[in-house]
Amino acid sequence: MQHRIIVLGAGYTGAVAAGRLARRLHREDVAITLVNAEPDFVERVRMHQLAVGQELRSRPFSEMFAGTGVELKLAKVTGVDVDRKTVAVVGAHGAEGLEEELEYDTLVYALGSGWNDQGVPGTAEYAHEIAGRPGALRLRERLARLDAGQPVLVVGGGLTGIEAATEIAEARPDLDVALAVRGGLGDWLSPKGRRHLRKVFDRLGITVHEHTAVTAVETDRVTTAEGSTIPAAVTVWTTGFAVHPIAEATTLEVAETGQIVVDGTMRSVSHPDVYAIGDTAMATGPGDKPLRMSCASGTPMAWQAAEAIAARLTGGKLPNVPLRYFNQCISLGRKEGLIQYVTADDRAVRAALTGRFAAVYKELVCKGAAWGVANPTFGIPVRRRRVVRVPAQAGSAGSADSPSSAVKAPA
């Protein structure tokens, strides 16, 4: 019988993992099923561009995985039973009422994350989000209806908030764009990075409300912790991501964030036949620091998991390559960028690239990530090995055959 591998979610991590597994294992030995609710790949790192009216290239999974042996199942995941080793799904795109149960031998959990309203009153009702395509399209429609001079407030000073504020201000210079941040603007960046960020914000006319915590959202304003109000015909909420609650409803060991706790090979510490990658995994890098939710973390995690699964199925050598960071790439509109170099554990160093060259660099990174998903098996040597055993069902994921590793991926 074929060993059944189910990959849940076809974002950057799930799609890459499925493609890599197809390249490593014989089709006669394994059945790889990729479950996703959408028929095409969504470039999540470009949702701020979609929100201002830019069109993104279509990347259908049917073309991406043609000839790879990966079966694409268009469905929405509604539940996972890790004790019975089943996944509950409902059909997508016109078949919503069809319920089905899928059985697996190995599960790769890559359902990603959505926006996090932090429980702030009024956010769910009145704020817009760009954590996914539906939200970005709704924001695009709303921005298109705004008249000149109306205020747009972006809440959240992380990478997503900075990119959203600069993209909107560049695309719609007639709007009054502002950014509200809990701390200082770009306070995690190097001095050079912070100076460039302020320079771009000043040039684009973006008002920055620093050390400002938003405590309530209304239709035309927000309220801060100090009791003041900031006008906002549109509020864009970018204060972080939250994982889907499906994993928390299982017997998997999860962190307080709802993320699945994994070892260095991305294997669940409580269920050896489950791997978690991307935003849904609580994995650690250098210094035992949790990896941040990002494409920069997710892609190498996918490589690591796929190599570990292939190794365990074929009796090969487990990957033991540290996962680490090199830089943070920030787009500041289409003409400006900021590449902040960081330590292995993601702390800023003095060096940074700025300006037009940095914008080109970031664009190449985004294109490279999308191309890697669209060509999931390109460039990977064909080293398909025969399955000689199933993953060990006894013992924990931290047993002798599961060495820890830290974040850069195997080639």
- What's the confidence (pLDDT) of residue 404? 31
Query: How far apart, in whole angstroms, are the C-alpha atoms of residue 187 and residue 161?
Result: 14
Cα 56 from Cα 247, distance rounded (Å):
31
Confidence label for 168 from pLDDT (cuts 50, 70 and 90): very high
319 or 205, which is more confident: 205
What DSSP character marks residue 2? P
> Which band of pLDDT confidence, cut at 50, 70 and 90, is reported for residue 383?
low
93: left (phi over 0), alpha (psi -120 to 50) or beta: left
User: Does the fold of domain 123-239 match that of domain 3-114+242-324?
Assistant: yes
- Mean pLDDT, residues 100-114: 96
Does domain 3-114+242-324 fall under CATH 3.40.50.300? My reply is no
Residue 390: per-residue pLDDT: 47
User: Which whole number is the average pLDDT over 368-379?
Assistant: 75
Strand ranges across the sheet with 30-36: 99-103, 86-91, 70-81, 30-36, 3-8, 106-109, 274-276
pLDDT at 399 over 50: no
Q: Which residues contact 63 (CB under 8 A, 6 or more apart)?
A: none
Under the banding of pLDDT at 50, 70 and 90, the label for residue 380 is low
Which pair of structure tokens corresponds to residue 367?
Answer: 């294109």
One CATH from 3.40.50.720, 3.30.750.24, 3.30.70.590, 3.50.50.60 for 123-239: 3.50.50.60
The pLDDT value recorded for residue 387 is 73
What per-residue confidence (pLDDT) applies to 98? 77
What is the distance between the alpha carbons of residues 183 and 214, in angstroms, rounded to a whole number? 12
Look at the pTM and tell me if it is higher than 0.85: yes
Mean pLDDT of 97-123: 93
Q: Token pair for residue 341? A: 């170099």
The model's pLDDT over 237-296, given as tens digits with 9 standing for 90+, comes to 999 999 989 999 999 999 999 999 999 999 999 999 999 999 999 999 998 899 999 988
Q: What is the pLDDT of residues 340-361, one digit of tens each?
A: 999 999 999 999 999 999 999 9
What CA–CA distance (Å, rounded) separates 364 from 150?
A: 34
Q: Which 3 state secondary structure label does DSSP give 63?
A: helix
98 phi and psi angles, rounded to 5 deg: -85, 115
pLDDT of residue 178: 98
CA distance 322 to 389: 26
Cα 287 to Cα 330: distance, rounded to the nearest angstrom: 24
Q: Sketch the domain layout of the chain as residue ranges.
A: 3-114+242-324, 123-239, 327-363
Tens of pLDDT, residue by residue over 28-68, are 999 999 999 999 999 999 999 999 999 998 999 999 999 89
Percent helix, strand, coil in the chain, to 5, is 30, 25, 45
239, 113, 126, 42: CA torsion to nearest 10: 110
SS3 track for 322-344: CCCCCEEEEECCCCCEEEEEECC
